[in-house]
């Protein structure tokens, strides 16, 4: 049986698998990568029941690219971590930015409906300007809540 990491532990110090990187052979080229992982789970720190998330990471690569299998293992590791949504998005952005060192990154975390409340969190960070809340809000129009919510709406039509 795996142990649950307590919410009293500072999520910034929880040991998680490393996001491994590979060399980008086209660092001089401007392009955007987008990863969507619809199976992210973590534990509610209050009830210890699982919370289900859809996470999108969009970024402009520089010299490094994330190795996607390691990114998946990184995400899976949150399965036994009790944490609030707000802490989860910040830990993911910090780890991704440190490992990949992109020119900029945008992370959007869509928490499935729980108790009648749907939560979407967004964070944008660039090497040149740091965190920018206004840019995160601007990009929320480019990356709507989640493709899962769009799929569900299309199925109900």
Active site residue 33: no
Write down the catalytic residue from 9, 10, 33, 51. Answer: 51
CB distance 14 to 90 below 8 Å = no
DSSP one-letter string for the chain: -PPPBPTTS-GGG-------EEE-S-TTS---EEEEEEEEEEE-TTT--EEEEEEEEEEE-SSEEE-HHHHHHHHHGGGGBB--HHHHHHHHHHHHHHHH--SEEEEEEEEEEETTEEEEEEEEEETTTEE-HHHHHHHTTTS-S-HHHHHHHHHH-
Known catalytic membership, residue 44: yes
Q: Which of 33, 44, 62, 94 is catalytic?
A: 44
Q: Which residues are catalytic?
A: 44, 51
């Amino acid at each position: 049986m795996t142990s649950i990491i307590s919410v009293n532990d500072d999520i910034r110090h929880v040991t998680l698998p490393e996001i491994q990187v590979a060399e980008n052979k086209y660092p001089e080229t401007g392009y955007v990568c987008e990863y969507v992982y619809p199976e992210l789970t973590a534990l509610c720190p209050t009830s210890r029941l699982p919370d289900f998330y859809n996470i999108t990471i969009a970024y402009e690569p520089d010299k490094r690219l994330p190795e996607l299998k390691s990114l998946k293992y990184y995400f899976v590791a949150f399965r036994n971590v009790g944490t609030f949504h707000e802490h989860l998005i910040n830990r993911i952005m910090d780890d991704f930015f440190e490992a990949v060192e992109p020119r900029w990154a945008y992370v959007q975390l869509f928490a499935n409906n729980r108790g009648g409340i749907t939560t979407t969190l967004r964070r944008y960070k660039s090497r040149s300007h740091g965190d920018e809340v206004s840019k995160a809000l601007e990009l929320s129009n480019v990356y709507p809540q989640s493709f899962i919510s769009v799929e569900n709406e299309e199925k109900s039509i």
